[in-house]
Structures are given as C-alpha cells and as structure tokens.
Amino acid sequence: MEGDKRPLIICLNSVLMALSAIAIVTRLLTRTFLIKHVGSDDVLIIIALILALALSALYMLSTKYGEGLHIQHLEPQNVPQYTQVLLCQGLFYSLCQMFVKLSYLALYLRLAPTATYRVVLYISMALISAFGISTSIASVLLCIPFDKLWHPDLPGNCIDINPFYITSTSLNMVFDIAVYVLPIPILWNLQLPKRQRIGLAVVFSLGLIALVASVVRLKALINLLFAPAYRSDNTWDTVDSINWSSVEIHLGLLLSCTATYKVLIQRFLPGFLGSSNRTNSQNRFTSNMGAGSYALQSRSRNEPNLKPAARAHITEVDDTGSQEHIIADLEMVGFETTESIHSPSKASTDGGAIVDHSAAVVAST
C-alpha cells in the first residue's frame, strides 16, 4: 500500500527487540558462568530490557490503530485506543530510559575510587530517578480527564505538550552525557599504561553513540510539534519520532553490553584482540581506592594460566566499600583474572598484616 509506514515500524522494532534480547542474555550468561558474579547493574538492565520490549511491542501495536498511515485513514472508533497506546508509550519510554541509566551508575558505584565520588553517583541516581518517575507520570497525565485527549471539548486541563516534550527530551540528553562521562575519573585512577586507560574510557563512552539518536529524535519532535495546523498528519508524522525513540532505547541496551563482547572474545578467541603482555617481564600497576589500595599484577607468558575457578573476590573493603567484587567489574571492562591481588585492610595501616588474595589481573588491550 502506497503511503504505508507500518511495515517499517514493525520490522525495525522486531530487529531491535531480537538484538537487545540476545545482547542482554549473552551479558547475563557471561556474568554468571565466566565472571561468576551478577551485580545490581545486571538486575537493572534486565528491567530496562523488559520495558524496552514492552515499548517496542506498543509501537507495533499502534500500527493496528492507524500509526504509519495518513490521518485520513484513521477510523474514528480507533481514536481512543490509538491515544491510549500513545500514553503507554510515553510511560514505558521514560521508565526504560531511567533504568538504563541507573544500570550504568550501579556499575560505577562498585568501581568508585572515593567516598566523594560515590556521593556524586548517589546524587546522580536520585536525580535520574526523580526525573524518570516525574516524566513517566506526566506522560500519562497529559490531560485530566483522559477522555479530553480525544474529546477536546470536554471540561478539564491538559499539559502544554510542546514545552513538556522539548524540555524532557533535552534534559534526558543532559543526563545521558553525564552518565557516559562519569566513569572517566575512575579509569584515570587506574595506574595502567595510557593506551589502556584511553581504551577503557572509549569502551565506557561508547554510550554517547545513543546520544546521536537522541538528537535526531529531538529534531523529529520539533518538526512534529511546530508543524502548521493545516499540515497536521499525526499518524504519519509521528513515525520518525517513535522509530528514533526505539533506536535510542535499544542502542542504550546494546552498548551496555560492549564489555561483555570483549570478555567472550578473550575467552574463546584469545589471540583475536592480541595481548598486552609483549614481554616476559612482570608489570605491576596500582590503583588508590580511598583508604585502601590494590595492585594489578601482570604475568609472564611462561607462568601458568589459572582456571576461572581459582579466582577469588576481594573481601576487604575500604571505608567506602568500593572494592567489593572489583575483579568481576574489571573483567567486564577488559581485564582478565590470573594470579594475586594484595589489598591492605584498615589494620595494615596500623602495622597489621597485609592480606594476600589468590587472584591477579592482567590488563589486556
């Protein structure tokens, strides 16, 4: 049918749903069976995936009620259902964005180098949660009563949607930028070779790619919201904005799994990415983590490669608790566990014994 965008909506969302589901399942399997640790960030990303799948399903459902067709093809009896689906889309979109960001921040919390940095993360999580919940509620309560959305003559009140959508989309982009650059101080505290620190920063900052989709979505929204009334064709003109909304959401999910792909390649194709051990000498790298510290020790090629079962998590933590499960988190961003980490407990600063742990980290490019 000429002038029909419904197949585009259905195909795009079907592909994105499949890719996101595969990526998140792969991430969980890697965390469970290779890294042996599932964290709160994984739980949050599962919630985000469920919301993203529901959102894409709603985008496809809207085609049943006229989305993707020109407005003249919208049957009057479908207007209430079409509008209700749009309201649900706004709810799931805002909640999904919130949980994706919270998942990133939950990972940063376990790597936080100082108590001050943890406070910054907690404040960021509170702001993002407040923003996500408030925009979710506002997206559903655009008009009170609901019927006023499709019966404008009814008594009641409606939000001015133009400033609401523009402001909420712009603030969401600001939070995106903040979330994707927040881990850079963590990575710079790792006393690794500069090349490896830059590589890790790039891995974390890949999420900024989703920002491109956000910018395109904002442009589509502006074109839609400020179109002259005589050109109003909502069921046709909204297709670009919902498609870019879907791309934006699923890109956030896919990019959250970037480190997982590297872990899998290193495990099953160890020579594919090369090795950071170019000599037989041992290199020691240290990182200061608040009151405590630990050493990342590379091994030579001639030393035995311990099996994953020989791995041990750090049990001593500094006053911020940020070293808990540090090995698992480092592996997710490109480290491989091998020999031993020395982590001084608080007692060691008073002359107490330094605790030796049977695990080590070899930095990999």
pLDDT digits (tens, 9 = 90+) for 23-62: 999 999 999 988 888 999 999 999 999 999 999 999 999 9
pLDDT at 120 over 80: yes
Mean pLDDT lowest for which of 105-119, 181-195, 205-219, 343-357? 343-357
Residue 328 vs residue 204, higher pLDDT: 204
Q: Give residue 288's pLDDT.
A: 43
The residue from 236, 265, 294 where one domain ends is 265
Q: Do 155 and 11 fall into the same domain?
A: yes
**Structural domain includes residue 204:** yes
pLDDT at 363 over 50: no
Q: Look over the chain and give the mean of its residue pLDDT values, rounded to a whole number.
A: 77
**Structural domain includes residue 288:** yes
**Structural domain includes residue 224:** yes
The residue from 265, 294, 328 where one domain ends is 265
Q: Mean of the pLDDT values across residues 65-85?
A: 92
Residue 78 vs residue 315, higher pLDDT: 78
Show the domain range for 195: 6-265
Q: Give residue 11's pLDDT.
A: 98
Q: Give residue 152's pLDDT.
A: 84
Sheet strands (E) in the chain: 143-144, 157-158, 284-289, 292-297, 335-337, 341-343, 355-357, 361-363
Residue 1 pLDDT class (50, 70, 90 cuts)? low
Helix (H, G, I), strand (E, B) or coil at 288: strand
Contact 322, 118 (CB under 8 A): yes
Q: Do 242 and 281 fall into the same domain?
A: no
Q: Do 185 and 73 fall into the same domain?
A: yes
- Sequence-separated (6 or more) residues with CB below 8 Å from residue 64: none
Q: Give residue 137's pLDDT.
A: 95
Q: Mean of the pLDDT values across residues 113-122?
A: 91
pLDDT at 271 over 50: yes
**Structural domain includes residue 150:** yes
The residue from 243, 265, 287 where one domain ends is 265
- Please tell me which of 61-75, 182-196, 278-292, 342-356 the model is most confident about, judged by mean pLDDT: 61-75
For residues 65 and 9, what is the distance between their CA atoms, to the nearest angstrom? 13
Domain count for the chain: 2
Q: Secondary structure of the chain: what % helix, strand, coil (to 5)?
A: 65, 10, 30
Residue 342 pLDDT class (50, 70, 90 cuts)? very low
pLDDT at 350 over 90: no
Contact 184, 204 (CB under 8 A): yes
Q: Do 94 and 199 fall into the same domain?
A: yes
Q: Do 20 and 54 fall into the same domain?
A: yes
Q: Do 53 and 18 fall into the same domain?
A: yes
For residues 246 and 62, what is the distance between their CA atoms, to the nearest angstrom? 14
Secondary structure element (H or E) that encloses residue 130, with its range: helix 115-140
Q: Give residue 70's pLDDT.
A: 92
Q: Mean of the pLDDT values across residues 317-327?
A: 41
Task: List, in sequence order, every residue forming a beta bridge with 288; answer none if it has no partner.
Answer: 293
pLDDT at 335 over 80: no
Q: Give residue 116's pLDDT.
A: 92
Task: Give me 328's structure tokens.
Answer: 């698992």
Q: Do 152 and 250 fall into the same domain?
A: yes
Q: pLDDT digit string (tens) for 209-262?
A: 888 889 999 998 888 888 776 577 889 999 999 999 999 999 999 988 887 777
pLDDT at 322 over 60: no
Name the residue among 251, 247, 120 with its Cα closest to residue 178.
120
Contact 10, 63 (CB under 8 A): yes
Q: Do 217 and 334 fall into the same domain?
A: no
Q: Do 280 and 165 fall into the same domain?
A: no
What radius of gyration do the chain's Cα atoms show?
24
pLDDT at 353 over 60: no
pLDDT at 292 over 80: no
pLDDT at 64 over 60: yes
**Structural domain includes residue 179:** yes
For residues 141 and 161, what is the distance between their CA atoms, to the nearest angstrom? 11
Q: What are phi and psi of 151, to 5 degrees?
A: -130, 80
Q: Give residue 194's pLDDT.
A: 75
For residues 336 and 40, what is the distance between their CA atoms, to the nearest angstrom? 21
CA distance from start to end of the chain? 51
**Structural domain includes residue 1:** no
- Please tell me which of 171-185, 282-296, 333-347 the model is most confident about, judged by mean pLDDT: 171-185
Whole-structure pTM value: 0.75
**Structural domain includes residue 270:** no
Q: Do 200 and 338 fall into the same domain?
A: no
For residues 65 and 68, what is the distance between their CA atoms, to the nearest angstrom? 9
CATH of the domain at 171: 1.20.1070.10
- Sequence-separated (6 or more) residues with CB below 8 Å from residue 352: 345
Q: Give residue 186's pLDDT.
A: 75
Task: List, in sequence order, every residue forming a beta bridge with 336; answer none if it has no partner.
Answer: 362
Contact 29, 42 (CB under 8 A): no
Q: Do 66 and 177 fall into the same domain?
A: yes
Q: Do 284 and 340 fall into the same domain?
A: yes
Q: Mean of the pLDDT values across residues 169-178?
A: 93
Half-sphere exposure of 197 (CA within 13 A, CB side): 15
For residues 97 and 91, what is the distance between their CA atoms, to the nearest angstrom? 10
